[in-house]
Amino acid sequence: MGYSNARLEASDNRIKATIRMAYGFHHVTNLIALVMLRCGGPDIRPPQPRT
């Protein structure tokens, strides 16, 4: 049907680059946090008024 796997390849490449950047981290949780930060995008919510 003409589908492309370009988005999957791009996210895979970004994760691989992050792993190379994170070489030397002592804990895998730091690597996971860095991948989530780079690939997850910001979760910015506007302030809500207090009731």
Residue 39 contacts residue 11 (beta carbons within 8 Å): yes
Rounded-to-integer distance, Cα 20 and Cα 31, Å: 10
Q: In this predicted structure, what is the pLDDT of residue 49?
A: 80
Q: In this predicted structure, what is the pLDDT of residue 11?
A: 85
Rounded-to-integer distance, Cα 22 and Cα 29, Å: 11
Q: What's the mean pLDDT in 26-42?
A: 85
Instruction: Supply the pTM of this predicted model.
Output: 0.63
Residue 19 contacts residue 31 (beta carbons within 8 Å): yes
Rounded-to-integer distance, Cα 47 and Cα 26, Å: 35
Strands (E), 1-51: none
